[in-house]
Amino acid sequence: MRRERMEPFLKGGKGMLLAYDQGLEHGPSTDFDDRNIDPSFVMDVAAKGGFTGVVFQKGVAERFYSGKVPLIVKVNGKTSLPKGEPVSRQVCSVEHAVSMGAKGVGYTIYLGSGLEAEMLSEFGRVQEAAHERGLAAIAWVYPRGAAVQNDVSKEIVSYAARAGLELGADAVKVKYTGDSESFSWAVKAAAGVKVFMSGGPKAPTDEAFLEQVQGVMRAGGAGVAVGRNVWQNQDPQGMAAKLRAAIFGA
């Protein structure tokens, strides 16, 4: 059953998800240009690029989701404006995500934040509501806040991956540790929960980014859930083709 919930987003057990919730998380002037500020552009990149899932906040999903790629609705979110310990609260119900055609919901947990408890308990409710409806619950687990010194160490990334397992996530999205060997410990810690790499800011070269993706795949990761490294690329379809080769071998 657990496997089936992620099935819409997988091809041969691997997945390539395109994330586009940065307009809320970072603001339009930080991440967007004249092309990618338009959600239709990104919907088109997802469909033509062979992505196995696309991630939108509900407002973008309501207006721009074309139905051509399986949908994950981010059900919590925050802006970059408040300072202090990070917290991201629910902004969309699982029922509403279902009504828009979602096959999965995404939820960010800032592990280690002073407000961590709010997100842990809210994710618990979201996960149960998602599973009652047969949807995948995908946890973005980002260690963050004053208590977190290094958010990409082997110890903290594996803790994030394990938290996904313990909390009942069907898949977990974590940052790359920087090498395949240490990332494989995070994959082991997830004990069968699909582990996706989060992209981060656009890497200086395509090759530098693809090296990370290859490291994830060697470590037994399920694939990527990335945004900026694709839709900020001058040639998003070229990058999509390189990702397909690295993840699916085709």
Catalytic member of 142, 154, 176, 194: 142
Selected binder of ligand FBP within 51, 140, 176, 209 (CB under 6 A):
140
Q: What is d(CA 81, CA 128) in angstroms, rounded to the nearest whole number?
A: 30
Using CB under 6 A as the binding rule, whether residue 25 contacts ligand FBP is answered as yes
Using CB under 6 A as the binding rule, whether residue 22 contacts ligand FBP is answered as yes
Candidate segments 37-45, 153-161, 185-193, 227-235, binder of ligand FBP by CB under 6 A: 227-235
Q: How far is the CB of 1 from ligand FBP (least distance, A)?
A: 26
CB-based burial of residue 33 (10 Å sphere; 0-12 exposed, 13-18 middle, 19+ buried)? Answer: exposed
Catalytic residue status for 142: yes
Which backbone phi and psi does 223 adopt, to 5 degrees?
150, -145
The two structure tokens encoding residue 197: 């790499």
Compare residues 113 and 134 and give the one whose CB is closer to ligand FBP: 113
The CA-atom distances, in angstroms, between 35 and each of 39, 53, 62 are: 9, 21, 20
Return the CA Rg of the chain: 16
Selected binder of ligand FBP within 88, 177, 198, 233 (CB under 6 A):
198
Using CB under 6 A as the binding rule, whether residue 53 contacts ligand FBP is answered as no
The two structure tokens encoding residue 50: 């062979």
Catalytic residue status for 173: yes
| Site of interaction with ligand FBP (CB under 6 A) | 19, 21-22, 25, 55, 140, 142, 198-200, 226-229
